[in-house]
């Protein structure tokens, strides 16, 4: 009975019911310690694969649904562009989604949740270029100094290029957020894009 749940990793009550496990049976499994309750409505087999930070990403994406994407400071940390671990998981959610949850920092957005996304199966995260563009977009929340430092670091380490960042900003319709800082990012030898 527990093997399908172990393979599933993090799951919801509806997933357990599809496998023939009733709500009362699931409650007994939680009480006996055979299943862990991660959060309201989310469960985990103790021997399943998601661990640590990745588990937090999976839980966040499951909690906020298919339009949600890990982003902001959490994505900057994921790409090793900031050293401090964010106190909350930052997640991009559709603009019409309103929530105040102490564990999450929700960034409501109208930008397409399918552009510039890496899908890791159980969770989705903004790609490096979108993460940098969004850092400028949400500079009032993330900090302009953090956005500039992260972008310069990614460029100096040759993890991306200005052309890729600009193309991502254009695809998202967010060029205006990076244009005002463009000259501080462009080395003199590179000129305009």
On average, the pLDDT of the chain sits at 86
Residue 65: half-sphere exposure toward Cβ, Cα within 13 Å = 7
All structural domains of the chain with their residue ranges:
3-44, 52-185
In tens, the pLDDT along 79-120 reads 999 999 899 999 999 988 877 788 899 999 999 889 999 998
Rounded Cα–Cα distance for residues 57 and 50 (Å): 9
Neighbours of 141 (CB within 10 A): 13
Cross-strand bridge partners of residue 12: 42
Q: How far apart are CA 36 and CA 28, in angstroms?
A: 11
Q: What is the pTM of this model?
A: 0.79
Question: Shortest CA distance to 78 belongs to which of 113, 127, 112, 122?
Answer: 127
At 133-182, the pLDDT tens digits run 999 999 999 999 999 999 999 999 999 999 999 999 999 999 999 988 88
- pLDDT band of 63, cuts 50, 70, 90: confident
Q: Please, which residues bridge with residue 130 across strands?
A: none
Using the predicted structure, report yes or no on whether residue 186 has a pLDDT greater than 80. Answer: no
Q: What is the torsional sign of CA 16, 19, 23, 26?
A: negative
53-62, 118-127, 130-139 — most confident range: 130-139
């Amino acid at each position: 009975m527990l093997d399908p749940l172990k393979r599933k990793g993090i799951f919801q009550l509806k997933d357990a019911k599809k496998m023939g496990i009733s709500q009362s049976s699931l409650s007994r499994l939680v009480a006996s310690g055979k299943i862990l309750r991660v959060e309201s409505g989310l469960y985990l087999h103790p021997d399943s694969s998601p661990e640590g930070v990745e588990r937090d990403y999976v839980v966040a994406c499951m909690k906020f649904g298919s339009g949600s994407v890990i982003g902001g400071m959490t994505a900057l940390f994921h790409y090793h562009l900031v050293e401090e671990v964010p106190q909350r998981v930052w997640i991009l959610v559709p603009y019409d989604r309103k929530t105040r949850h102490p564990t999450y920092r929700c960034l409501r957005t109208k930008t397409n949740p399918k552009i510039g996304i890496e899908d890791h199966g159980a969770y989705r995260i903004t790609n490096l270029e979108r993460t940098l563009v969004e850092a400028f977009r949400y500079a009032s929340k993330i900090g302009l100094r953090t956005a500039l430092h992260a972008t310069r670091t990614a460029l100096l380490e040759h993890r991306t290029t200005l052309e890729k960042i600009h193309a991502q900003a254009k695809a998202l319709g967010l060029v205006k957020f990076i244009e005002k800082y463009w000259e501080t990012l462009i080395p003199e030898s590179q000129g305009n894009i």
